[in-house]
Structure 1
Amino acid sequence: MKHETLLEKSRKHLWLPFTQMKDYDANPLIIESGEGVKLKDTEGKEYYDAFSSVWLNVHGHRKKELDEAIRQQLDRIAHSTLLGMTNIPATELAERLVKIAPPGLTRVFYSDSGAASVEIALKMAFQYWQNRGIKKKSKFVTMKNGYHGDTIGAISVGSIDIFHQVYQPLLFDSYKVSYPYVYRHPSGDATICRDACLAELEQLLMEHHEDIAAIILEPMMQGAGGMVLMPEGYLAGAARLCRKYDVLLIADEVATGFGRTGEMFACDHEQVTPDIMTAGKGLTGGYLPVAVTMTTERIYEAFYADYTELKTFFHGHSYTGNQLGCAVALANLELFEQMNLIEQVQEKAAYVKKLLSSFQELKHVGDIRQIGLMCGLELVADKETKQPFEWANRTGYQVSLKLRELGMLTRPMGDTIVFMPPLSSRDSELTEMVDILRQGILSVTEGA
């Protein structure tokens, strides 16, 4: 089909997620195909996929082993329900996930999106206390500037005004505590910032732990909140406080899981096992929508009872445990093992860190935040005062348009430029992407 015809159809019928459609109509893009770390549009132009198709592609596009896993599963069955029964790929994947997850996470509940996995986690945490007869524990603690998805429950524990404020009348209340954002902290010192935020969290728990069911956080790096790196020790400190005050810890690993931060899961950086962990995105290598909510046996046992006790977890999705998705997820995890991918990511992350170090000299790059192959470059109007650009100028968005013109796709978080290439990216590809990134930032912020 011709580009012009597709463009007409898209403008007439589509409503794209997280997109002001007036912007899209002014700058349309239709992807036709992809291979490796590149995408091609309907006009034949190629682009580096520098944000892994919104943070989820692992091995690049059209990975032979993943394609074949789906074809082989199609020869058996595409889907059957997981309500009251199971299937082979879902069963095998659950076992595989338990082996690689933080020790103690022994149960796997499937869904089809990161937001759904968070919604499940919230309901599980709430019902866990209800099933135990501790009815008062019904509140949640979340981090300022946190993001956990777009369903009503997930928004209720989110805290990004531009995304969430309009829906405020629909949301349930949650406690919000400061996230240790070192760059914006008055001291600029990671240890002081971490300790102050942990003290704030403990004060809240000391006063309200009897009402609090769980804390939810994005371990090691806030994603949609602006790629904000968590200072060393905060995650482990928060976990200790949860144990001290008998509050559950929910780790939202939807963005950070499956090697993105240089460990299989971000919790592994500080040897933390949460009570509940959500994961998705990279689980299927970026192929199909499968997400999971994993729990400890303690959580699971609170629901295991005779039906008449009404402790059943009444939640499910039509495509839960879909065979095609679970089959490709198994193939994805097999590639992780065969390729020693975690070790590769650590090596590539060190290379990217070296490449990005030169950006410190750029006049309008205020902060560079990186863990593994998860990077954010915060653009500021004044580097000395950390004064941000006027939000209405949309500097980050303008940079993303320039990057597209130069042959690279990414999506900014406000004025923070996201750089999250596929984990399979070669050093030469990473070098080219960083060169384009530099050129795009200079062009928009300095007119170079």
Structure 2
Amino acid sequence: MKRIAGAGDTTFLAIGDDVIDLNRIRRIGVVAAGKAASPMLKALLPSLRGLSQCDLSGVVIASDRPTDLPPGFQFFAGGHPTPNQASIDGAEAAVALVRSLRKEAIATGDSLCLFLISGGASAMMELPLDSRITLEDMVKFHRELVHSGGSIAEINCVRKHFSAMKGGRLALEAEGILSYSLLVSDVPLGHLDALGSGPTLPDSSTVDQCKEILERYGLMNRFPVSVRQFFSSTQLHETPKSAQLRSKAVTLLSSEDLVEIVEQRARDLGFYVVVDNTCDDWSYSVAAEYLLERLRDLRRDHGRVCLISSGEVTVELSARESELDGSERDDTLGVGGRNQHFALYAATLLRSLDARTVVLSAGTDGVDGNSAAAGAVVDETLLDDEKLLFQAQGSLQRFDSGTFLQEAGLSIVTGATGNNLRDLRILLAAEF
């Protein structure tokens, strides 16, 4: 997206293949939600400044308040990985902004709405369809979904049918307005409507799929009573589909861009490079076993190998374990996330035949589960005695991989990156 100067005082805004005459726009509204909301807004604002004829306002829902937030913008520190009161307040403010733009657009036809959506928006911007569901129950609902072991597409299918914002429902509020969604994607290719649970895109999932997911993961018994009642009620309506929405979306960044950069860097360093995203959404254990075996096979023929895998693995917690969060956590559940869990489990699989092998797994958002780390890096020497191996296996059972890896000095700590392009796994093997 970029601003283009035309003849005279004419100014245009190019979004994808479209060019918008900004001189005809009298009001622009921006809704930015997700982990990349602040940097996305920072990148957007230079294209919108200096339009004297235009009223600019917006709602930003993110972890951290953007610097130099313009007048007319509201900020809400939405929660993640579970919603908080600011998630609700921000969602209500976003709906109010879009409705006011729609009202004005119907009268004058000169409004523009820009949605900046990135990963994390599912929790940061939330409003249940059933207004009787409390924040406490909504937090438990989100927590059980995150800990279910389901893929991001499955988890977000359920979220879409629960929420007044998701599954295209926010876009439905914007019908009649010239609107665009600008996306920084942390979801699998071909599943953009799962990004942030798809607030501004037509939903490809269905109520029947939602019910099947709830049954397959045994979630109904784990939800609070109010949420169970909602999913069993007539309020469970179908989400807006493509025939109902005229939504336009442009993907700015995705995991493909990330992998391309890593692949080129590895080639520059002299590695034989293979990209294998086959294990996206697999269980962490199956994914680790698959990728290590793939690395061993490649190493036989090429010696110096870099195996790159993007996407996310799943870690399923039991109902009891998933109840333990924050101050409620006890010795049965520790610190870490799927990346550290994957890395430590991979370390338990490394043997003498894997000499000079390194495994890295990290979240591009700089956050892994409930830890301060983005992930970890391990090699075949980490668990080279039985005592350490036994300790590592115990940490995996307690979901305390983060503590073990931190004490070993192998955590990757970046802080929040302001981006979210899924997880990245890099497996390196040097020549013997």
**Do Structure 1 and Structure 2 share a fold, with TM-score over 0.5?**
no
Which protein is bigger by CA-based radius of gyration?
A: 2
- Higher RCO, 1 or 2 (CA under 8 Å, sep at least 6)? 1
Q: Compare the two structures and name the one with the higher helix fraction.
A: 1
Q: TM-score, normalised by structure 2?
A: 0.36
